[in-house]
Amino acid sequence: MERVHPRKVVNVLMSDKQECFIEIISEVVHRAAGLNAKVVVVTPPTCDADDLFRTASRQKWNFGFLFLNNIDYGSGNRESRAIANDSIDFVMKMALVFEKPLFALHGLDEGLWYHVQLQEAGAAAVYRMPFALDEMAQAVKKCSGISDL
C-alpha cells in the first residue's frame, strides 16, 4: 500500500494584496517548500501599518513578506528617507513581537545602509525589487521551520 504524505501548509503574511505580488511570493514559497505545498496568504484589509500589525496579531502565519514602500506608516511622510526610517522601525517592532522570519522587500534607492539597518532590525533577508526568485527561495529554505511544516 502506497503511503500518502500530508500536504505541507505554509501560511504567509503579506503586507500587500496585489495579485502580482501574491503570485510572486507563492512561487518563491513553492520553490522553497516544494510544489506540493499549499500556500495560504494572509493580507491586511488596507496598506496601513496598524492594519498589518493587527492582522499579524490575529492570524496564523509562518513567514512575513513586507513590501516596505507600499505600507502607509503613521508619520504620513512619503519621502524616500522617511519611508526608509519608518520601515526600519516597523520591521523591528514586527520582529520583536512575533519572532518569525520577515522578508523585507522594497523599491527604494537608499543604498547599503538601508539593507544593513533592516537586517539589524530583524529582517531575515532584504531584497530590492526586482529580485531573483531562486535567491529568495534559498533564503526562505534556510529559515528554521520550512522543512518542519
The pLDDT tens digits of the residues spanning 70-97 come to: 999 999 999 999 999 999 999 999 999 9
Residue 148 included in any domain: no
Residue 79 included in any domain: yes
H or E element at residue 67: strand 63-67
Positive or negative, the Cα torsion across 86, 45, 15, 93?
Answer: positive
- Please give the Cα distance from 43 to 14 (Å, whole number): 5
Instruction: Residue 109: give the domain boundaries.
Output: 9-142
Instruction: Give the model confidence (pLDDT) of 20-30 as tens digits.
Output: 999 999 999 99
Residue 32 included in any domain: yes
CATH of the domain at 34: 3.40.50.2300
Strand 9-14 with 38-42, pairing = parallel
Residue 149 confidence (pLDDT) above 70: no
pTM of the predicted structure, to 2 decimals: 0.91
Residue 3 included in any domain: no
Residue 61 included in any domain: yes
Residue 30 included in any domain: yes
Domain count, the chain: 1
Residue 6, preceding peptide bond in cis (omega within 30° of 0): no
Residue 36 confidence (pLDDT) above 80: yes
- Give residues with Cβ within 8 angstroms of 100, minimum separation 6: 61, 62, 63, 64
Residue 16 included in any domain: yes
pLDDT of residue 6: 61
Average pLDDT of the chain, as a whole number:
92
Place of cell 528554521: 144
φ and ψ of 143, to 5 deg: -65, 140
- Please give the Cα distance from 139 to 12 (Å, whole number): 15
